[in-house]
Amino acid sequence: MVQNQKSVSFSRTKLFIILVLIFAAGTIFAGLFNVGLSSTNTMEFCTDCHSMKINLEELQRTVHYKNNSGVQATCADCHVPKEFGPKMVAKILAYKDVLHEFLGTIDTPEKYEQHRWDMANRVWDKMRANDSRECRSCHAWESMDLSGQSRSARNRHSSARDEGKTCIDCHKGIAHEEPDEPDEEEAEEKQG
The confidence score (pLDDT) of residue 46 equals 86
Domains of the chain by start residue, with CATH: 40-180 (1.10.3820)
Q: Nearest Cα to 69, choosing from 138, 167, 155?
A: 138
The confidence score (pLDDT) of residue 98 equals 83
Report in angstroms the alpha-carbon separations of 167 from 117, 121, 126, 181.
Answer: 19, 14, 12, 20
The confidence score (pLDDT) of residue 6 equals 58
Q: What are the pLDDT tens digits along the chain (192 aa)?
A: 545 555 556 688 899 999 999 999 999 999 999 998 889 899 999 888 777 888 899 999 999 999 888 989 999 999 999 999 999 999 998 888 888 888 988 888 899 899 999 999 999 999 999 999 999 999 988 888 888 999 999 899 989 988 989 999 999 988 999 998 988 766 566 555
Q: Residue length, the chain?
A: 192
Alpha carbon distance, N-terminus to C-terminus of the chain: 84
CA distance 161 to 165: 6
The confidence score (pLDDT) of residue 31 equals 94
CA distance 32 to 175: 32
Q: Nearest Cα to 74, choosing from 116, 44, 106?
A: 44
The confidence score (pLDDT) of residue 35 equals 92
CA distance 109 to 114: 9
CA distance 132 to 104: 30
